[in-house]
Amino acid sequence: MELRRRLLDALDQMAELLVRPDGSSYPEQTSDLLRQITICVDIVRHRADSGASSVASIQYSIRELQRLLIQLSGELQKLAGG
């Protein structure tokens, strides 16, 4: 139960970090990736909240989220010129 709460807290924190402080928008490719991440976060959150979800289904969703976050990291590095 504690692990589930920590996962949901981490997802909430991540969602807050993806909002640009100045309110400006990201390039289209980055925005598309952010939409995919938002959907994946919702899926992980739903599966973690659902007592009927198996550990395997949660793990699969988390691996997909990790893949998307790695892509986002690369996109943000490009935007920062690095």
Per-residue pLDDT of the chain (82 residues; tens, 9 = 90+): 677 778 778 777 777 766 777 777 788 888 899 889 888 888 888 888 877 778 888 888 889 999 998 998 888 888 888 5
Under DSSP, the state recorded for 53 is: S
- What whole-number distance in Å separates Cα of residue 66 and Cα of residue 69? 5
- What whole-number distance in Å separates Cα of residue 12 and Cα of residue 24? 21
CA distances from 71 to 5, 7, 55, 76 (A): 26, 20, 24, 9
Closest CA to 41 of 64, 20, 25, 21: 64
pTM: 0.72
